[in-house]
Amino acid sequence: MQKAQLVQNIILLQSYYKFLYLWKYLEHEAKTHDFSKDVQDTKIATWDKSYFIIKWKTVQPLLENIHKNPDKKNLFWYLIEISAFRWLFSTFKELLDNEPVFEKFLKQKLWKQYVAFEQIIKFLRNVLSHSTTSHVYLKTDDFQKQKEYLKKHVDTLLDFKFVYADFFPERKGSKDYGMRLYVDFKKLKDGQSLFDVISLHQLYMFSELCYNISEVFRLKYKLK
């Protein structure tokens, strides 16, 4: 992979994380503030002299529903969280598969935890890429080959334990901050929700870790 392509993929990965960050913040604002009262038709420029009209009749009930039902899942759930997770993990896996410098860097950083991390990334990429529902139900085809590989070469129980202070001395902050994530392939079942395997909180933590890894890599190799 050319350096320019590597830089573009790092930027893309980080953009997916920032996309998740920004829109979840905006969703939070829509839950705590009633923006539906201020909605009006809005012209969005699509070219020098062309516009697309965002009509208030469509936007107003969506904002009103989010504000009145802050504890319920809404359309942002799938479009923002699931899409961001899908593309972030997919891009990270592409970097590992196609960029030897990035793969070597991560192996050196994670050492004994690398295999578990890489296999979890692969699992998430496979499941999220093939999902068409907000519950993200597992399909046997998404994990069976990986399960057979792990049974033969590693272990069907992936145990990823990560504390930033142990792996990234560059990071400042709590010495206890990190995460632990288990994926037991022996217990995976067709039709099972991904969120029964890896919680939403763990997905956020794992996404944050992917972003932080890319940022340490970017700074190390002085990529702009």
Confidence band, pLDDT 50/70/90 cuts, at residue 188: very high
pLDDT tens by residue, 48-90? 889 999 999 999 998 999 899 988 877 666 678 889 999 999 9
Predicted confidence band of residue 169 (pLDDT cuts 50, 70, 90): confident
Identify the pLDDT of residue 9.
Answer: 93
pLDDT grade for 1, boundaries at 50, 70 and 90: low
Q: Rounded to a whole number, what is the largest CA-CA distance in the chain?
A: 61
CB-count burial class (<10 Å; 0-12, 13-18, 19+) for 12: middle
Q: What b/e readout covers 127-164, taking b as 16+ CB neighbours within 10 angstroms?
A: bbeebeeeebbbeeebbeebeeebeeeeebebebebeb
Please tell me the pTM assigned to this model: 0.90
